[in-house]
Structures are given as C-alpha cells and as structure tokens.
Amino acid sequence: MPDEAQAPLEEKRRKVRERVKKHRDKKKLEQAADVAANKFDDLHAYWAAQRNALSSDELAQLTERHNFMLEIVDAMRDYLAGTNGTTEKERDEFVEEVKQEVKKKGMATMEITLIARFWENVDFMKQVVERGGPTATFAKYGLLTGIPDHSYHDFASNLGGI
C-alpha cells in the first residue's frame, strides 16, 4: 500500500516540476526577446546583456573556460617571442596540448567582430549560433571557449607547421 499512497504525491511533484520548467522556459524566452528587441550602442553592451541572460553557473563555466583560453594564448605568445624559458621537451608537450585542445574544442573566429554591428544582423547571427562551437559562443557572449584561430595559425606557422 505505501507505493499506492506515493503515486498521487509523485504525480503532484511531477506537475509542479513541469510548471516550474514552463515558467523558466518562458522567462528565458522573454529575456531573449528583450535582448533581441534592444538596439545596443556597441558590442560590449550587447555581450553584457547576453551574459546577464545566463544562469550564474553557466556564466561561471564560460568565464572559467575563457580565462583558460587566455592563459593558453599568452603561453603561445611567449613561445613565439622566445620568452617562455622552457625546454624543448616542454615546448613539444605544450604544442601537443594545443593540438589536442583544437581537436577537442575547435577554434574561435574572433574576426567576426570586424563585420560592422554583426550582432544586429539576425540572419548572420542565426547561422553562426546554429553552427555552434567556440565562434558561436564568442559571437554571442564575447567569451572564448576555443583557441582563437588567428593565434593558432600564427603559432603553428612559426613552430614548423604543427
């Protein structure tokens, strides 16, 4: 009998979870519509609004990843400048790490920022976001989740074409 008594309670909980999910989904859609309806003066204002629509957990994860990408890019620059102070073995290990990172996560094309007010071009943004990956994340939030492709190509071409 305890299982039979639990059934109505479980059904009630399921319905509550459904209502909460619908409410959250509706709220996210409203926030997205607000962002889409606004005309932003500059790219940084657009990115700030997009980031505000993220949950704190989502933003924390993206920010952590962004900071990691910046560390890798800084290390790549140090290697190119010859100021990294490491051995050839360490360099080879770092090159392998960079290659694996690109293989697993892809690269971000930051040059989309050269397209004037790209964030207002709905068709363009739709195509970029639908493709997904680091370029989409960068276009939408201004956060790197993949190594910038220009940094990778510069690094690769100066280190013997990794």
For the ranges 30-39, 102-111, 124-133, 143-152, the lowest mean pLDDT is seen at 30-39
Residue-level pLDDT at 3: 62
For residues 46 and 40, the answer to whether their CB atoms sit within 8 Å is: yes
Residue-level pLDDT at 71: 96
Residue-level pLDDT at 20: 77
Which of 3-7, 34-38, 85-89, 91-95 is predicted most confidently? 91-95
Residue-level pLDDT at 35: 56
- Condensed to tens digits (0 to 9), the pLDDT of residues 58-108 reads 999 999 999 999 999 999 998 888 887 778 888 889 999 999 999 999 999
For residues 50 and 141, the answer to whether their CB atoms sit within 8 Å is: yes
- The CA-CA-CA angle for residues 134, 46, 56, to 5°, reads 65
What does DSSP assign to residue 148? Answer: E
pLDDT above 70: residue 146: yes
Question: How far apart are the C-alpha atoms of 107 and 148, rounded to whole Å?
Answer: 5
Q: What are the domain boundaries of the chain?
A: 1-37, 42-158
Question: Mean pLDDT, to the nearest integer, of 35-44?
Answer: 74
> CA gyration radius for the chain?
22
Mean pLDDT of the chain: 86
Q: Structure pTM?
A: 0.73
